[in-house]
């Protein structure tokens, strides 16, 4: 895809304003994503169905002769940072943007012994803390840039698995969805991703299907409180699984959600879970099992262009995330309702929740009505926002890196 000259010259000018002359470098591009369905299940190696966005993070990188990495951002609130490449890179304070660059750098030093630092200029049109995976876009772009200036080239599948492990540096026990869709995304397609090992099935989006992303205006701060809540969900899933396995019902069976689901199916396991578990742990396990079934269902609907069925799966996913997984909030619930009342066939929170965005699904014929309905929600606030609160998601290609050339 040819990038516009204006975009490249803005990146070049930004780089030079921070670091001086740009002699020879690379530019890495890494998209955000919207997850259509399969939420809070990737860390249990259960499949997900996201698409990569046209919005992305770009990094211009110029190699250095030492091991220093200097980072600057086009956004003034992300101040300049520096660190030295090493196998034990000290973390910046929690929430600092540079931790995402350090995450990629440390992993690549450990695995490939990178020797060469770089000056990095970062620019992005992805809102942060929105559930659109701006964090993984930064990790992947930084990883691609640092690998390229060190002459390390990897297959996207392999790179995605490495970057998923790398991002845990920031303290979130995340799964592998974001890095995978960021690297493997395909124009016009959603991807069904399976994990351990990572596999991707590209599914063309029917021509008249539209996905609209709308922001709740609540920041889902995954470097703060949302991080604890996220890690807690993962721990609760593990605790529920232990109890299930210890019950007389499942002795000697596979020891993972995926293994159990493959052997018994979601319905039978849900029946067992209702007998063995209670309270929050039952609710968390129920979400894992029901979301697994919904991803299978949604995949089928996508393949046979059953828009009503797909919308229903989204609606049910939201209910499960709200009621069983407790990761929604009143602002997200209200936006989901508004989307449905404005012609969406289905809508749900997308990403980790606790704020951030919803994804609403509609046919092309209802798009205008949906956008108008959602738009009214922001009427009094839109001018105060530094990002577009509503966007039509265009399924886009995954990340890449190329020589930086001003045409």
Binding positions for ligand NG1, rule: CB under 6 A: 35, 39-40, 42-43, 131, 133, 135-136, 167, 172, 174-175, 177-178, 222, 351-352
Closest to ligand NG1 by CB, 44 or 366: 44
Rounded distance between C-alpha atoms, residue 30 and residue 183, angstroms = 7
- Closer residue to ligand NG1, CB minimum distance, 72 or 122: 122
Nearer to ligand NG1 (CB atom), residue 223 or residue 342: 223
- Give least dist CB 305 to ligand NG1, A: 25
Helix (H, G, I), strand (E, B) or coil at 387: coil
Cite the active site residues. Answer: 178
Q: Which two tokens stand for residue 251?
A: 């002795």
The count of other CB atoms within 10 Å of the CB of residue 405 is 11
Q: What is the DSSP letter of 224?
A: T
Output the smallest distance, CB 377 to ligand NG1, in A: 21
What is the four-CA torsion angle of 111, 114, 118, 120, rounded to 10 degrees? -10
Smallest distance, ligand NG1 to C-beta of residue 290, A = 14
Q: Which is nearer to ligand NG1, 11 or 107 (CB)?
A: 107
Choice between 28 and 172, CB closer to ligand NG1: 172
Q: Rounded to an integer, what distance in angstroms lies between the CA atom of residue 80 and that of residue 97?
A: 10
Count of alpha carbons within 13 angstroms of residue 39, beta-carbon side? 33
Q: Select the residue whose beta carbon is closest to ligand NG1 and give its number.
A: 351
Nearest distance, CB of residue 329 and ligand NG1, angstroms: 14
Beta carbon nearer to ligand NG1, 25 or 175: 175
Q: How many CB atoms lie within 10 A of CB 102?
A: 24
Rounded to 5 degrees, φ, ψ at 273 are: -60, -40
Q: Least distance from C-beta 230 to ligand NG1, angstroms?
A: 7
Read off the DSSP letter of residue 48.
B
Cα separation of 393 and 373, whole Å? 17
Query: Is 218:329 a contact under the CB 8 Å cutoff?
Result: yes
CB of 140 to ligand NG1, least distance (A): 11
- 3-state helix, strand, coil split of the chain in percent (to 5) is 45, 20, 35
Query: Per DSSP, what are the bridge partners of residue 27?
Result: 60, 402
């Amino acid at each position: 895809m040819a990038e516009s000259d204006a975009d490249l010259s803005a990146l070049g000018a930004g780089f030079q304003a921070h670091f001086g002359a740009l002699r020879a470098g690379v530019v890495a591009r890494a998209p955000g994503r919207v997850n259509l369905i399969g939420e809070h299940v990737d860390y249990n190696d259960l499949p997900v169905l996201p698409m990569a966005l046209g919005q992305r993070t770009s990094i211009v990188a110029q190699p250095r002769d030492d091991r220093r990495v200097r980072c600057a951002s086009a956004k003034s609130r992300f101040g300049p940072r520096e660190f030295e490449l090493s196998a034990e890179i000290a973390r910046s304070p929690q929430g600092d943007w540079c931790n995402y660059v350090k995450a990629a750098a440390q992993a690549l030093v450990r695995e490939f012994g990178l020797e060469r630092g770089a000056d990095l200029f970062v620019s992005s049109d992805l809102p942060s803390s929105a559930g659109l995976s701006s964090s993984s876009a930064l990790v992947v772009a930084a990883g691609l840039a640092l690998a390229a200036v060190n002459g390390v080239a990897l297959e996207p599948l392999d790179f995605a698995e490495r970057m998923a492990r790398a991002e845990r540096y920031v303290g979130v026990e995340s799964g592998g969805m974001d890095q995978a869709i960021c690297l493997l995304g395909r124009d016009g397609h959603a991807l069904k991703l399976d994990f351990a090992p990572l596999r991707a099935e590209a599914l063309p989006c029917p021509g008249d299907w539209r996905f609209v992303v709308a922001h709740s205006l609540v920041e889902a701060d995954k470097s703060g409180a949302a991080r604890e809540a996220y890690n807690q969900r993962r721990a609760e899933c593990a605790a529920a699984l232990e109890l299930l396995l210890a019950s007389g019902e499942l002795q000697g069976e596979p020891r993972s959600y995926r293994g159990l689901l493959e052997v018994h199916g979601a319905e039978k396991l849900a029946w067992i879970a209702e007998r063995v578990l209670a309270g929050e742990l039952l609710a968390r396990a129920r979400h894992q099992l029901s979301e697994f079934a919904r991803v299978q269902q949604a995949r089928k609907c996508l393949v046979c262009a059953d828009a009503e069925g797909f919308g229903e799966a989204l609606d049910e996913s939201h209910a499960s995330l709200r009621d069983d997984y407790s990761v929604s909030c009143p602002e997200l619930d209200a936006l989901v309702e508004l989307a449905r009342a404005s012609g969406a066939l289905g809508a749900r929170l997308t990403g980790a929740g606790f704020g951030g965005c919803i994804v609403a699904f509609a046919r092309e014929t209802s798009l205008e009505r949906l956008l108008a309905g959602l738009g009214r929600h922001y009427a009094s606030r839109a001018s105060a926002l530094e990002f577009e609160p509503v966007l039509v998601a265009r399924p886009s290609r995954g990340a890449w890196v190329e020589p930086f050339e001003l045409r």
